[in-house]
Amino acid sequence: MFKRNLSLLLISSLVFSLALAPTAFAKPRAEKEAEFTAKVKTGIAKLGVGRDARVEVKLRDKTKLKGYITETTAETFSVTDLKTGEATVVAYPNVAQVKGNNLSTGAIIAISVGAAVGVTLLVIWLLVAASD
């Protein structure tokens, strides 16, 4: 009798907890696309605009663009081909993948300092070698 009542209690609590639980744990497709679009906008904004803002863009229709970013707006950005100079306007939701490179100010400073230290060490080594 005790086992039966305990089983009924456990079954009813399980059914009750499942009824109150959210039915879907995965995000809807539209929400995932909106997050990806926001991520693309942020990435494009970090790269900046100009010849140094080089990108490779794959669109949802399998088109590939390669060049640099010439203009950004709230809804689109423009990619200009390096060879032809032709600008293509791309809407953020049409992007499937973006690969870009643009050296940040910190990276440029680090490279410059490294080069300066290397040159200084070379000069010191040459002076020491010449004095021997």
Give the total residue count for the chain: 132
Say what the pTM is: 0.56
DSSP-derived 3-state class of residue 103? coil
Q: Tell me, what's the pLDDT at 25?
A: 59
Dihedral of alpha carbons 108, 112, 56, 80, sign = positive
* DSSP code at position 52: T
Starting at the earlier edge strand, list the strands of the sheet with 64-72.
87-91, 76-80, 64-72, 54-59, 95-101
What's the pLDDT tens digit per position in 35-92? 888 888 888 888 888 888 888 999 989 889 999 999 888 899 999 998 898 999 999 8
* DSSP code at position 129: H
What's the pLDDT tens digit per position in 87-123? 999 998 999 888 877 656 666 677 777 888 888 888 8
For residue 52, what are its two tokens? Answer: 């140094």
